[in-house]
Amino acid sequence: MDLVVEGRAYIRGKLAPWCIGIEGGRIRATKKLLKGDEHLDFGDMLILPAAIDSHVHFRDPGLTKKEDFNTGTISAAFGGVSCVLDMPNTIPPTLTPISLADKVNAIAGKAWVDYGLIGGCSPRADPAAISKAVIAYKLYMASTTGNLLVTSDADISRILSSIAVTGKVLCVHAEDENMIRNLPEKTLDDHDKNRPGAAESSAIMRLSKLPGAGRIHICHVASNEAVGMLEGMPFTKEVTPHNLLLDKNSKLKSYGKVNPPLRDRGEREAVFKAFQEGKIDVLASDHAPHTIEEKEQEFSEAPSGIPGVETSLPLMLALVKKDRLGLDVLLRTACERPAEIFGINKGKIEVGRDADLIIVDGTSMKKIATKNLHSKCGWTPFDGWDAIFPHATFVRGVKVVEENGLVGERVGRDVVAGKHPIAG
Ligand code: DOR
Ligand code: ZN
């Protein structure tokens, strides 16, 4: 064995003392005792699967003053995330073989963790043209950052059918553009009123009635009605830490402006309860960094989006410690289900999977401090919140973070390109 990692590992749903044997970046054995060329004994610390954050906006290429693949993946590694799925609303948008090749070139050699690229949808682009190189697709049914809006049922149906043929998942930003008002807004409450929860349910209902759909994943569900409606539907669903933890009544001003919006406390608590009860498939950050300068503009001018790839898992680990969330629910939504849904060989400590692990000291609760985070955007709505950051993060057996420092090499690679190499 190249490497053996020892500690209290989460295997088959239980924490117990284990040795994990790693060779060629994969888990080769899990035994009570194992010998390896290198042996790292973490004593009482926990060994958990690293998280897969299936919804991030790393802004590369074209918007790299907000974030790039270097800073985004460093943030991910410090937050215990070993794989990210990056959204297509970059400049140019990831829509065609040419723009995809642009992206592949722009991010080459920058990543500290693994990644998959999500392709965009537009009324004209042919999804099949990029199907071999993307891990999934993203459909925006409402306007938000970027220029990838598709509103007509005819266009959406065509997109559903062409993506169904590829067998890939279609991630949907489900707010109905027809129900969004563009009245002037000054507060988070105005923003919520302009983009009400009913716009989410309406988009989901429209989708469910259209023919041709394959595998559909509803991103960032933020309203209780949408959660309830999705219970009877064959769609998978995702929530974000900000929609679980922040209300529109907070003092965040435009820093809390996001689509879909932060809602009221009752609504948020209902979505949180569904999450606690294991009714939501995926926890993903929707890491959407914008600069402080951009967020400091007039409320109506400020762009929507909240960063979160580095704080998502640490915030939730703190809730596990406080008995507000089951460790099983957290690992299912942050690791196992994203791996299953998107077909990624990670997310579980099991022989044959990538050795993507985090080491967690359950006693190391601390307050989030903006100055300790690594996103280029330089702010977080969670400053001062309790969190448990990982002591170390491994990507395919390579330690990339340890004790608040970046170590090792930049090993990140495209989880799809490994299967189907593309030119570019
Ligand atoms: O608030 C949002 N920001 N919602 C989105 O759908 C996109 C995101 C961004 O890219 O900034
Ligand atoms: Zn997003």
Q: Please write down the HEC assignment for all residues of 209-231.
A: HCCCCCEEEECCCCCHHHHHHHC
**What burial letters (b/e) apply to 356-386, b meaning 16+ CB within 10 Å?**
bbbbbbeeeeeebeeeebbbbbebbbbeebb
Question: Which residue among 342, 362, 384 closes a domain?
Answer: 342
For a ligand 1 pocket test, name from 56, 144, 171 the mutation site with the most ligand atoms within 8 angstroms of its C-beta: 144
In a domain, 421, yes or no: no
Domain limits at 326? 50-342
Q: Identify whether residues 334 and 358 lie together within a single domain.
A: no
**What six digits make up the tokens of 103?**
């992206």
User: In this structure, is residue 424 part of a structural domain?
Assistant: no
User: Which residue of 89, 91, 376 sits with most ligand 1 atoms within 8 Å of its CB, as the best mutation to test the pocket?
Assistant: 89
Query: Residue 142 CA: which ligand 1 atom is closest?
Result: 6
* Catalytic (active-site) positions: 286
Degrees, nearest 5: CA angle 160-58-132: 40
Q: For position 419, what pLDDT does the model report? A: 64
Please tell me whether residues 37 and 102 are part of one structural domain. no
**For residue 297, is it within any domain?**
yes
Q: What is the pLDDT of residue 418?
A: 65
Residue nearest to ligand 1 atom 7, measured at CA: 145
Whole-number Å distance, alpha carbon 200 to ligand 2 midpoint, is 14
Cα separation, 303 vs 299, in Å, equals 8
**103 lies in the same domain as 126:** yes
Q: Are 231 and 204 in contact (CB under 8 A)?
A: no
Domain membership flag for residue 381: yes
Contact residues for 414 (Cβ-Cβ < 8 A; gap 6+): 104, 114, 115, 116, 117
Strands (E), 141-265: 169-173, 215-218, 236-239
pLDDT value of position 417: 85
pLDDT of residue 408: 84
Q: Whose CA is nearest to atom 3 of ligand 1?
A: 305
57, 59, 188, 376: residue to mutate for ligand 1 pocket, most atoms within 8 A of CB:
57
The residue out of 320, 342, 364 marking a domain boundary is 342
CA distance 169 to 188: 32
Residues 288, 361: one domain? Answer: no
Cis peptide before 97 (omega within 30 of 0): no
Give the integer Cα–Cα distance in Å for 179 and 163: 26
d(C-alpha 232, C-alpha 218), whole Å: 13
**Does 418 map to a domain?**
no
Residue with tokens 């809730």: 319
- The CATH number that applies at residue 169 is 3.20.20.140
Whether 280 and 364 share a structural domain: no
Ligand 2 center to 286 CA (angstroms): 5
**Tell me: the pLDDT tens digits for 367-392?**
999 999 999 999 999 999 999 999 99
**Which residues make Cβ contacts (< 8 Å) with residue 191, sequence separation at least 6?**
185, 248, 257, 261, 299, 304
Find the 304 Cα to ligand 2 centroid distance in Å: 10
Whether residue 385 sits in one domain with residue 306: no
The answer to whether 133 and 420 are in contact (CB under 8 A) is yes
Which ligand has the shortest distance to the CA of 118?
Answer: 2
Domain match, 116 and 218 both: yes
Classify residue 46 by burial, with Cβ atoms within 10 Å: 0-12, 13-18, 19+: buried
Residue 374 belongs to domain with CATH number: 2.30.40.10
361: helix, coil or strand? coil
Are residues 19 and 84 located together in one domain of the fold?
no
Q: Which residues pair with 406 in a beta bridge?
A: 401
Task: Identify the burial level of 93 via C-beta atoms within 10 angstroms of its C-beta, where 0-12 means exposed, 13-18 middle and 19 or more buried.
Answer: buried
pLDDT digits (tens, 9 = 90+) for 212-253: 999 999 999 999 999 999 998 999 999 999 999 999 999 999
Residue 332 is classified by DSSP as: I
Same domain assignment for residues 15 and 57? no
Instruction: Identify whether 412 is part of a domain.
Output: no
Tell me whether residue 413 is in a domain: no
Q: How far does residue 287's CA lie from ligand 2's centre (Å)?
A: 7
Provide the residue type at 93 as one letter: P
Query: What's the domain count of the chain?
Result: 2
Is 137 among the domain residues? yes
Nearest ligand to residue 148 Cα: 1
CA 42 / ligand 2 centre spacing (Å):
36
* Contacting residues for 158 by C-beta, under 8 A, at least 6 apart: none
Spatial distance between the Cα atoms of 321 and 386, rounded to a whole number of angstroms: 10
Q: Please indicate, yes or no, whether residues 61 and 41 belong to a single structural domain of this protein.
A: no
Contact, 362 vs 46, CB < 8 A? yes
Residues with CB under 6 Å of ligand 1 are: 57, 89, 144-145, 173, 258-259, 288, 304-305
Q: Do residues 324 and 360 share a domain? A: no
Regarding whether 144 and 234 lie in a shared domain, the answer is: yes
pLDDT in tens, the chain (424 residues): 999 999 999 999 999 999 999 999 999 999 999 999 999 999 999 999 999 999 999 999 999 999 999 999 999 999 999 999 999 999 999 999 999 999 999 999 999 999 999 999 999 999 999 999 999 999 999 998 888 999 999 999 999 999 999 999 999 999 999 999 999 999 999 999 999 999 999 999 999 999 999 999 999 999 999 999 999 899 999 999 999 999 999 999 999 999 999 999 999 999 999 999 999 999 999 999 999 999 999 999 999 999 999 999 999 999 999 999 999 999 999 999 999 999 999 999 999 999 999 999 999 999 999 999 999 999 999 999 999 999 999 999 999 999 889 998 899 999 998 665 444 3
